Amino acid sequence: MSEALITALLVGAIAAAVPLMLAGLGELISERAGVLNVGLEGMMLMGAYGGFVVALATGSTWMGFIGGAVAGGLVSLVMVVLCVRWGLDQIVVGIGILLGVEGLTSLLHAAQFANTYPRLGKAAAPSIPWLSDIPVVGRVVFGEPYMVYVTLIAVFVAGWVLRKTPWGLAIRATGESPEAVDAAGVNVVLVRSLATLSAGVLAGLGGAYLSLVSSGNFIPLMTGGRGFMALVLAMLARGRPIWLALGALLFGFATALTTALQIFGIDIRPEIVNSLPFVVVLVVLTLFGRDDYLPSSLALPYVRGER
Amino acid sequence: MDAEAIRSERDSGTPLIELIGITKRFPGVLANDDITLTVERGEVHCLLGENGAGKSTLISILSGMTVPDAGIIRIGGTETSMNSPRHALDLGIGTVYQHATLVPTLTVLENLILGNTTGVRLNEAEGLRRLDELASILGADVDPHAVAGNLALDEQQVIEIIKALWKGKAALILDEPTSMLTPAGVGELASMLQRLKGTGLGIVFITHMLHEAIEMGDRVTVLRQGRVVGTIAPAELRSTDSERLRDRIVEIMFGEEANELSDVAELHVEAFESISQDEPDSGGGPGGQVQSVGEPILKLERVSLEPSQSSHGLHEVDLTIAEGEILGVAGVGGNGQKELAEVLAGQRPIDSGSISLRYNGAFIQIGRLGVHSRHEMGLRYLSDDRRGEAVVGTMSVAINLVLKRIGKPPFWKRQIIQHAEVWQHAEATIKEFDIRTPGPDTNIGKLSGGNIQKAILARETASDPRIVVYNKPTHGLDIRTSLAVRERIRQMAADGVSAVVISNHLEELLDLCGRIAVVSKGRIVGIVENGPNAERRIGDLMVGAFAL
């Protein structure tokens, strides 16, 4: 294999993995607190749109990411109010959020950009003397867009927070047994609200990565099921951010491989090639998903004193 | 005022906790009606009462889970609103709830510091120090890094108490803490409470067991239908012998019905009084159960279940149960009782061996049959997980009563439910079994444990039962309901219906059973004929098995 192919594969894998990692991390945190966030895809899509609009207006990628985070966070507030505060069904509300955001962003896009199709510039990446010149590694490890490094740091920070801090402990306990958490004097509603909000913010960042870095523009329905993929990855990771990151990279690699196969003109029908990432996930699910572990109180609303 | 100050203000003469005129109404029920009581420092205050007397509501008010509709709560002389568990904890009131509040997947230490640490990082060192301090006050040995879900119930209870004491520096509230404990665990709890009392803590202790109240309490308050119907002051508790106290409490609890129930109360006292006096008498009491036993009806031969991480499994269990026999199964909880029950009921497939049931005159292998077929053949099962697997909590009492006959006439005709039939059946059953429910259409999950058990009993013993497996049939039930359940088991045996009774209460098995099998680590280590010294021999088998 040529150096160019290897570099393309790895860069492609990381590019495909980062949005999944961000959204999946958010889902993982909210699942550990007992909130199943089916609306993740919608939060990503809103993040993609919000990020694009802000970046276009300000001309700054970083401002775009902040815009994406805020947009995703705002959508998750719907979930906070309806599911965490009022105890409505998380799956129904999640699906509602997804459909609502799909319609809203498509409508806004049609109204604003239907005729202009604006594009953003290329996202900045570091250029480090010497290091960036190393073959393959220079591009793959030291030449990624800045957000890639932020994402990896976020994975480790989330792991540390969950394991080592009082907040992490409260989140883990809330997903298992909210009654116990309430009896221990911790505010269950607050813990779940913040966990849900962080899922929205992280999914928003993941969506913004798609519009700001991957494609440079916003296209209706551009998330294309990545939110659901992130949801599956979060479940497979059994609450461990590091497994989530590895899962996202595996999926990203499968995606990059299909692209590479197509580019190099290997003669397989494109439908088959395009389904490869999903086959990989199915295989992983059957191999490791059998004894997956989900929090006992996942998707169950908590109301004090109710039996 | 902080918790430490509330506790130390001993000389001021103000009681630790004062409840004045507490009233709480739930839809259709007046749970607490103008309740006034005080808890003093260094005193164990026992609350007694039947299921539904309002004890649990009072506890959830004291722990901040429920806010009363009317009334005043004073802690250390200061009036307070007490509107959240956090608030109660901050005032120094710690609660051990009836249901487990440990998070099973977390370690002991994590469970304890949950909600109790500040700062960015978990302060494990501080947690360990406090754990050591509390464990030494209690005289308990605790592994801080054990996963809570892997501990035995006795051990979990100790952790629950430590958790309540963590913040509960002024008062400790225990809601039926003994219901899941082994006799040894109860003894240990009593000595822990003695030590805690010595540190000036006020303790509120809720129980069904009269002897526990008499033995452990300094002051006893009896609730009935949401009201305080009597109090026994410390002076009287100390100066009166337990026999007379028991009569007095039974009288307060049941009023004019006391006479007919005094035998029952005796059952509960007997267990803690001297073991040696169980001479055979004419029927009724321990050791005197005479059963006319017929032909064998159920045979287990070398029945085995592979052990797993959370279970000892079953190891070559041989058992034969005869028609009309009540066979007891004794043992420390978690030694294969649940597995045995589920294997009998058909909820769990066996790995080897055979189970055969006499049906139409011949023994039929039922090892591979499911729950439904066994139910049809007259093999019934009352699970100990009443709310979880025995009923569908969000469905009506009426539907739950026919849950195992879905699709069968007369309740279903041509696959269509016959509401009138179901309703009539429910009304008749509710009356016959004295199920206290607002109506047949009430969701069964809203009923108390005792009434749910009555409904399950009604369902499982309907339409030609031949052998019934009871797992902890009277666990958590009040005296009156326990009596009704035992009476039903006995009556059915007299009519030729066999029973397998699995129970943690030896006294119950001695009262009901002709033979008692002792299980340990998934094996039957002995079968004891009920009679003189049966209790001691069963105890020996349980202890002997421990030594292995």
In this complex, the residue of A172, A183, A307 whose CB is nearest that of residue B85 is: A183
Same domain, B368 and B444: no
Which of these three, B431, B463, B495, is where a domain ends? Answer: B463
Domain end marker among B421, B446, B463: B463
Instruction: Answer whether B84 touches A (CB < 8 Å).
Output: yes
**What tokens does B119 get?**
């700062």
Q: Domain check: are B446 and B469 in the same one?
A: no
Shared domain for B263 and B280, answered yes or no, is no
Crossing angle (nearest 10°) for helices A146-164 and A241-263: 150
Range of the domain at A70: 3-114+133-288
Please give the average per-residue pLDDT across B242-258, as a whole number: 73
- pLDDT of res. B2: 60
Q: State the pLDDT confidence band at B484, using cuts at 50, 70 and 90.
A: confident
At A137-182, the pLDDT tens digits run 777 788 888 899 999 999 999 999 999 899 999 999 999 989 888 8
Do B480 and B424 lie in one domain? The reply is no
- Residue A218 contacts residue A52 (beta carbons within 8 Å): yes
Q: What secondary structure does DSSP assign to B396-449, as a single string?
A: BHHHHHTGGGTT-TTTEETTEE-HHHHHHHHHHHHHHHT---S-TTSBGGGS-H
Residue B354 pLDDT > 70 = yes
Categorise residue B203: left if φ over 0, alpha if ψ from -120 to 50, beta otherwise. beta
Q: Which residue of A has its CA nearest to B387?
A: A307
The predicted pLDDT at position B257 comes to 56
pLDDT over 50 (residue B267):
no
Asked if B393 has any chain A CB less than 8 Å from its own CB, the reply is yes
Residue A263 CB: number of other CB atoms within 10 A?
A: 11
Contact A180 B122 (CB under 8 A): no
- Average pLDDT of the segment spanning B156-161: 88
Beta strands B171-175 and B93-96: pairing type? parallel
Q: Is the distance from CB of B241 to CB of B180 less than 8 angstroms? A: no
CATH code for the domain of A194: 1.10.3470
One domain, residues B245 and B359? no
A107 within a domain of the structure (yes/no): yes
Give the pLDDT confidence score for residue B273 in this predicted structure. 36
What are the pLDDT tens digits along chain A (307 aa)?
Answer: 678 888 888 988 999 999 999 999 999 999 999 999 999 999 999 999 999 999 999 989 999 999 999 999 999 999 999 999 998 999 999 999 999 999 999 999 999 887 887 888 777 777 777 777 777 777 778 888 889 999 999 999 999 999 989 999 999 999 998 988 888 888 999 999 999 999 999 999 999 999 999 888 999 999 988 999 999 889 888 889 999 999 999 889 888 888 777 777 777 777 787 788 778 877 877 777 666 678 888 888 887 765 4
Task: Note whether B426 and B509 are same-domain residues.
Answer: no
Question: CA-CA distance, A144 to A11, in Å (whole number)?
Answer: 8
**pLDDT at position A231, please?**
92
pLDDT at B295 over 90: no
Domain count within chain A: 1
Q: Are residues B77 and B191 in the same domain?
A: yes
Cβ pair B85:A179 closer than 8 A: no
A193-to-A46, A199, B307, B401 alpha-carbon distances in Å: 19, 10, 41, 40
Give the predicted TM-score (pTM) of the model.
Answer: 0.73
Q: How would residue B415 be classed by pLDDT, with cut points 50, 70 and 90?
A: confident
Same domain (yes/no): B155, B264: yes
Mean pLDDT, to the nearest integer, of B314-343? 88
pLDDT at B483: 86
pLDDT at B269 over 90: no
Q: Are A241 and A20 in contact (CB under 8 A)?
A: no
CB contact under 8 A, B101 and A173: no
Q: Is residue A306 part of a domain?
A: no
The Cα of B107 is separated from the nearest Cα of chain A by a number of Å equal to: 11
Strand B416-417, strand B412-413: pairing: antiparallel
Within this chain, do residues B255 and B395 fall inside the same structural domain, yes or no?
no
Same domain membership, residue B452 and residue B423: yes
Could you list the residue range(s) of the whole structural domain that residue B73 is in?
3-270
CA distance B158 to A307: 25
What CATH number corresponds to the domain at position B265? 3.40.50.300
CB of B528 within 8 A of CB of B512? no
Residue B65: pLDDT band with limits 50, 70, 90? confident
Domain end call among B463, B488, B512: B463
pLDDT at B284 over 70: no
Q: Is residue A184 part of a domain?
A: yes
| Stretch B347-355: mean pLDDT | 90
Q: Which among B65, B86, B103 has CB closest to A176?
A: B103
Same domain, B201 and B93: yes
Residue among A186, A296, A305 whose CB faces B65 most closely: A305
Q: Please tell me whether residues B65 and B187 are part of one structural domain.
A: yes
Q: How many domains does chain B have?
A: 3
